[in-house]
Every structure is written in structure tokens, then in C-alpha cells.
Amino acid sequence: GASKAGVLIKGSNYMETLSQTKIVVFDKTGTLTKGVFEVSGIHHNELENEKLIELAAHAECASSHPISKSLQRAYGKPIDRSRVSDIGLTATVDGMKIAIGNDKLMEKLGVDCIPCHCVGTILHIAVDGKYAGHIVISDIEKPDARAAIAALKRTGVQKTVMLTGDTKRVAGQVAKDLGVDEVHSELLPADKVTQVEKLLAEKSPKAKLAFVGDGINDAPVLSRADIGIAMGAMGSDAAIEAADVVLMDDDPAKLIQAMDIARK
């Protein structure tokens, strides 16, 4: 029945543990969020939004970083590399010197930047040494994540926890949006194991702890939890190998289905 629903359970003992789960720990990126970055705001710009994105996309065209890719997607047209030269810390586009980066870069270049109150990655832009505004790039929450967390609480899960390497501010905002009880941010992969061990030590012996993750660096945490759940068959082989339960979809609602089947 579980495998028909796209839930692979590697043994009846894991099904038993799944039915007794009272604490669910999530990795954030790719589990509760899509792990896809998109431009979510453009502020304090004197240039038109489209023009600022166009300059930014061209200035960042040599990078394969997900954030650079998101600028190119937002621009939505082919990049004309002949317009770009001197790519380094800054780049020259159409003869204008474009600098893109965080507060530290602007400070280094002697440009006064305007801080942003939105949550996400903030890219400040300077054109010919003058501040031209900033672009906000955010990871998108999965549409069903909030409903899945609420459903977990209804089905008797006592505590939901989110672990992430992201900044405190971004993590806090996501946790608040999704209704997660506890959040730990700015963690390295090894710190995630430490946090799970802490939670295991604090809980009552009968309550079981499940960890849900999708990435390659989640493998150590998946094997440390009472039950490790790898989400999305698109997850890494290492995560799928280390997990006790594999959810074939990227949909957090599959977790509720898996628990319902285990309890039944």
C-alpha cells in the first residue's frame, strides 16, 4: 500500500518507528523550500526595473551560481556577451562599470548602499561608482509545506524543528511563515548532527524523532535520527541510501500519507 502511494519503507521495524514519531526535524532547502532562487523584489532604483535586471544579468553572465542564474532567468532574453568586458570583481557592460554584491563589497568600493528590510539574498548594484538600487533574491517555500506542518500537529506530532545553513533572519522568516516550532540557523552539515543528537537526548524514550532531508550532506543526519526520511526521488543517492523511508515526491504532504499508512 505504501509503495503504491510512492512511499518506500525499508522494513516493518521502520514502519513501527514511523507510527510512533512525535518530533519531526526538517532540513530547509529542498525539503520545505524548492531550493530554486527567484528575483522577489527590486528597490531604491532610479533606473527602470527591467534595465537594472538587464545590467545585472549581463554583469553576472560568466557565473554559474544559482543566484546568477536567477538574474538571467528574470531577464528572460539571450545574453549578448559582446556587450560585456573586464569581468572580475566588477564588470563593464555597454561601457558602464557595474558592481554587484553585498554590503561589504559596496563598502570596499566606497559606495553608500541602502539596507534592505526584506528577507532574502540582497544584491546591491553600483553603476559607475553610484548606487543604483538593490535586487532581492529568495528561495521559494513549497506551496504545501505550511499545510503539511499543520497536518503533522493534528496527527499527534508534538514538535517540528527546522535546521538550515541559511542566515538567522531568512530562517526565522521561513519558520514563521510555515508554522515550525523551533529553528536552528547558520549550521554546517556537522552542526545538524549535533542538533539532532541534542533533540534525541531531550525527548522521552517512547517518542521517536524523524529527520526529513533531501541533500547529500543530509546523509549523516538521516542515519543518526530514530528514522531518516529522504524526500524526493530526485534527492541524492547518498541520502536515499542512508534513509529508512524514501518519499518519491518532493511534496511534504507525502510525509503525512506515510505516517497515516504506518499508524494504520
Q: CA dist 25 to 5, 41, 125, 244, Å? A: 22, 30, 37, 15
Catalytic option among 27, 226, 244, 250? 27
3-state secondary structure the chain: CCCCCCEEECCHHHHHHHHCEEEEEEECECCCEEEEEEEEEEECCCCCHHHHHHHHHHHCCCCCCHHHHHHHHHHCCCCCHHHEECCCCEEEECCEEEEEECHHHHHHCCCCCCCCCCCCEEEEEEECCEEEEEEEEEEEECCCHHHHHHHHHHCCCCEEEEECCCCHHHHHHHHHHHCCCEEECCCCHHHHHHHHHHHHHHCCCCCEEEEEECCHHHHHHHHHCCEEEEECCCCCHHHHHHCCEEECCCCCHHHHHHHHHHHC
Residue 27 annotated to the active site: yes
Q: Which of the residues are catalytic?
A: 27
